Amino acid sequence: MSGHSKWANIKHRKGRQDAKRGKVFTRIAKEITIAARDGGGDPEMNPRLRLAIASGRAVNMPNDNITRAIKKGTGELEGASYEEITYEGYAPNGVAVVIECVTDNRVRTIAEIRAVFNKRGGNIGETNSVMWNFDQKGVFTINTKGKTEDELFEMVIEAGAEDLEYDEESSRVICSRESFSIVNQYLNANGYEVTEGKLEYIASNVTPIDSVEAATKVMKFTDAMEDLDDVQYVYSNAEIPDEIMESLDLD
Q: CATH code at 48?
A: 1.10.10.200
What is the rounded average pLDDT for all residues in the chain?
A: 89
- The whole-angstrom separation of Cα 164 and Cα 161 is 9
Total count of domains within the chain: 2
**According to the model, what pLDDT value does residue 2 have?**
39
- What residue numbers bound the domain in which 118 lies? 1-6+82-251
Residues 101 and 225 in one domain: yes
Single residue among 36, 55, 74 that ends a domain in this structure? 74
Pair (14, 131) in one structural domain = no
Q: What's the CA gap between 28 and 35, in Å, rounded?
A: 10
Q: Tell me, yes or no, whether 192 and 246 share the same domain.
A: yes
- State which of 74, 96, 114 marks the end of a domain: 74
Output the pTM of the full model: 0.85
**Are 26 and 138 found together in one domain?**
no
Residues 113 and 58 occupy one common structural domain: no
The pLDDT assigned to 12 comes to 56
Q: Do 107 and 50 belong together in one domain?
A: no
What per-residue confidence (pLDDT) applies to 51? 87
pLDDT at residue number 7: 42
Question: Do 201 and 213 lie in a common domain?
Answer: yes
Show the low-confidence residues of the chain (pLDDT under 70): 1-21, 251
Q: Are residues 2 and 121 both part of a single domain?
A: yes
Residue 34 near residue 176 (C-beta atoms within 8 A): no
> Residue 136's pLDDT is what?
93
Residue 88 in contact with residue 98, Cβ under 8 Å?
yes
Distance CA 243, CA 109 (A): 35
pLDDT at 234: 93
